[in-house]
């Protein structure tokens, strides 16, 4: 059994275990979960769920939700299932599978979400193989993730992605290819006046509604994490 650490999410309202080595959860899954427009009784899929942070936060915000996480790292599947159990999310589970070949029928889910790998192949590899696997994006990988997410989401369901700002045009184009509309861009500003490094995209399958750019979220100021960001990261507030 791989070594794990124990911590918390949402101001320690959620117990959270993750691998001691390899990819470690940051702000991204919590912010991503805050953008999923899910409601009680719906079924949600996360591709590349890791230790389950995004689904845990989403389940805490939306009671009565059902969720499935897909993860290709077997140890993380085990940890995420343990996280769901200890937080009493009995309708949540993780399965061992590849995000580019999801083992589900088309139009199976009300909402899908992902934080896809995003480091380019030309970048410096992490000395930690598990961390590199979580982050490394081969050419065309983002498109393949979006294609599969678009296949398994139902009409009028949502696709939510957190990606580098440099990838938003590619992602939006691929969402269009999957017949998604109402593409909504939410920039994540590291500080006021600085360019966004990460953005969240939310689109609706089979929607003809217009696209939208939201004011975005400023993450830090002179005092540390901004009150608006704390409302999401600590209190579990929704962003959309």
Looking at residue 130, its pLDDT comes to 45
Instruction: Decide: 142 and 167 in contact? Cβ < 8 Å.
Output: yes
* Mean pLDDT, rounded, of the chain: 92
pLDDT at 135 over 60: no
Parse the chain into domains and list their residue ranges.
28-233
Which CATH entry fits the domain spanning 28-233: 3.40.50.720, 3.40.50.300, 3.30.390.50, 3.40.50.150? 3.40.50.150
Helix-strand-coil split of the chain, %, nearest 5: 30, 35, 40
DSSP SS3 for 211? coil
Looking at residue 21, its pLDDT comes to 85
pLDDT at 122 over 70: no
Looking at residue 180, its pLDDT comes to 98
Cα–Cα distance for residue pair 208/236, rounded to 1 Å:
30
Looking at residue 23, its pLDDT comes to 72
pLDDT at 127 over 90: no
| pLDDT tens digits, 1-42 | 679 999 999 999 999 999 988 778 899 999 999 999 999 999
Looking at residue 1, its pLDDT comes to 61
Helices 53-61 and 74-86 cross at an angle (nearest 10°) of 20
- Average pLDDT on 96-108 reads 98
Q: How much of the chain exceeds pLDDT 90, in percent?
A: 87
- Average pLDDT on 44-69 reads 98
| pLDDT tens digits, 202-216 | 999 999 999 999 999
Looking at residue 236, its pLDDT comes to 97
Closest CA to 228 of 20, 8, 19, 34: 34
Of the two residues 127 and 229, the one the predictor is more confident about is: 229
The pLDDT-based confidence of 50 (bands split at 50, 70, 90) is: very high
Instruction: Decide: 67 and 45 in contact? Cβ < 8 Å.
Output: yes
Looking at residue 117, its pLDDT comes to 93
| pLDDT tens digits, 156-205 | 999 999 999 999 999 999 999 999 999 999 999 999 999 999 999 999 99
- Average pLDDT on 78-95 reads 98
Looking at residue 2, its pLDDT comes to 78
pLDDT at 150 over 50: yes
What's the 3-state SS for 8-57? Answer: EECCCCEEEEEECCCCCCCCHHHHHHCCCCCCCCCEEEEECCCCCHHHHH
């Amino acid at each position: 059994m791989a070594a794990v650490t124990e911590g918390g999410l949402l101001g320690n309202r959620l117990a959270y275990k993750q691998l001691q080595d390899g990819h470690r959860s940051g702000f991204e899954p919590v912010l991503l979960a805050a953008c999923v427009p899910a409601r009680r009784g719906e079924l949600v899929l996360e591709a590349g769920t890791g230790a389950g942070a995004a689904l845990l936060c989403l389940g805490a915000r939306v009671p009565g939700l059902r969720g499935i996480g897909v993860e290709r790292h077997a140890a993380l599947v085990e940890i995420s299932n343990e996280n769901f159990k200890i937080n009493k999310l009995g309708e949540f589970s993780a399965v061992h599978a590849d995000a580019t070949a999801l083992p589900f029928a088309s139009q199976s889910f009300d909402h899908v979400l992902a934080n896809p790998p995003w480091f380019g192949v030309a970048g410096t590899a992490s000395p930690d193989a598990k961390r590199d696997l979580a982050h490394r994006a081969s050419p065309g990988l983002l498109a393949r993730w979006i294609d599969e997410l678009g296949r398994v989401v139902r009409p009028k369901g949502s696709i939510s992605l957190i990606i580098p700002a440099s990838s938003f045009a590619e992602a939006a184009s691929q969402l269009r290819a999957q017949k998604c509309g109402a593409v909504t861009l939410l920039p994540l500003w590291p500080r006021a006046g600085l360019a966004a490094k990460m953005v969240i995209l939310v689109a609706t399958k089979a929607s003809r509604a217009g696209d939208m750019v939201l004011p975005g979220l400023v993450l830090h100021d002179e005092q540390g994490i901004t009150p608006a960001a704390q409302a999401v990261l600590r209190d579990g507030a929704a962003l959309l």
